[in-house]
Amino acid sequence: MKKIDLKISFEEYDSIEELNPEDKTILNTACKMVNTAYAPYSQYYVGAAVLLENGKIITGNNQENVAYPSGICAERVAVFYASSQYPDVKIKSIAVSAKAINFKINHPVTPCGACRQVLAEYEDKQKSEIRIILKGDTGKIRIIKSVKDILPMIFHADELKK
């Protein structure tokens, strides 16, 4: 038996003012998108903003449904829209922020497994990394340089090849 440890790394910032102008812009956009999320069931409002290589910013937020699994996260709304409208333009980065009605989110929001898998698909397709910028309502900001850092042992397309 051999025990194997995996290490992940990310950056943490105390304030949005410390970010580079590009990261700051999309994070501010993601924060605004929180306000138009449709989340009557969880009352957990998430905004996302995707920066494309052509400079366009695509936004999204979570869209819930009374049949709960029919809803979709903010990250996937934004990324799927970006890919549907600009299929040949690379995604540089995605910023995500969240707010809840009944409590303060004082740590960075963290993308769910399905969203991580989706981001990984686009990293693979475009052959370059997607920077992930995460914030809560208050507190620190976390930056991850690639989704692979938060999705170890990913199910990869190579597995399908005989």
Contact set with ligand THU (CB under 6 A): 39, 42, 44, 46, 62, 64, 71, 73-75, 96, 109, 111-112, 115
The residue annotated as part of the active site, out of 64, 75, 123, 129, is 75
Helix (H) or strand (E) holding 99: strand 91-100
Given the complex with ligand THU, which of 74 and 144 has the nearer CB atom? 74
Residues 74, 47 contacting (CB under 8 angstroms): yes
Smallest distance, ligand THU to C-beta of residue 118, A: 11
The reply to whether 159 belongs to the active site is no
Smallest distance, ligand THU to C-beta of residue 29, A: 15
Given the complex with ligand THU, which of 54 and 106 has the nearer CB atom? 106
Give Cα separations from 96 to 127, 142, 157 (angstroms). 22, 10, 26
Distance between alpha carbon 154 and the CA centroid of its chain, in Å?
Answer: 17
Given the complex with ligand THU, which of 28 and 110 has the nearer CB atom? 110
Catalytic residues: 75
